[in-house]
Structure 1
Amino acid sequence: MRIEIHSIEETQALAQAIARLCQNKHVVITLDGDLGAGKTTWTKAFGKALGVTSTINSPTFTILKSYTQGNGQPLHHIDAYRLEGASQDLGFEDCFDEGITVVEWSQFIQDQLPEDRLSLSFEEGIDENRVITMEAKGDVSKSILEGYHD
């Protein structure tokens, strides 16, 4: 599914819509795209829609940050950018087995990701224009994507 985005507000609205569909589910969402494509902006709006009250920012240097959703479940935010070339198992399975996990730069930990995941690819255009391609891989992520209506 391809979605054209023309503003930060539309990016935030997409994140909020996906968050509503993810509530009370265990799901992994991967976000890929160039620097500045909108991945962290999307994650901030997504977390806020899930009831996270802490400030969400990119965990580039810490790699993983965990927050508490409004329902008490965890929201894990992984930034795998600095893991390019890492071959060891970093123990992310624990994150993937509880709450919701958002992974930026997922291509760097591809072999550690669960099979069932919702993948969003951000393609940057001119100004705030973006194309976001969403792909479901597995039953849980398919149910989320099937529930999304533009």
Structure 2
Amino acid sequence: MSGWHGLLEGEYAARRQILDGLTLEQVTQVLSPQTHSIYAELYHLELWQRILVTRDEDLYERTWQQDIRYPTQVPTDLQEWTDLVEAFFVGLRQAYEWTASQERLDHETDPGSSMADVLRGLAVHNAYHFGKIVALRQVMGLWPASG
């Protein structure tokens, strides 16, 4: 598992730090028509991670294939944000479970593609969207995060 540490958890600011200390107003703020809110970025991240890690083809068909990749509504209370943050970390722990053995990493997800390939792609996808969240926090004057 140590070889996967940097792909899923290291290499940049701690995921928890990136997501902590934000108000509902801050996570739902959309800075321009070209950007998503912090909430929308994490929603997208968590959805894709859940699809990949749980191998949920039905969820993929209901959302990703229907181009429902970002939320259609904003959360109405901070608990919805907190629940989303925790769901992301549950998924991250599930991703780590795939790294427990070479047999699991070698599991063929599609012809010619292994779970290791999926996890590498997930790591890049997560890094991209976490970079966007940090950039949003920077523009909002909320970075570096306190704590």
Q: Report the TM range for the smaller structure's normalisation.
A: under 0.3
1 or 2, which has the higher strand percentage? 1
1 or 2, which has the higher helix percentage? 2
Larger Rg: 2
TM-score, normalising length from structure 2?
0.28
TM-score, normalising length from structure 1?
0.27
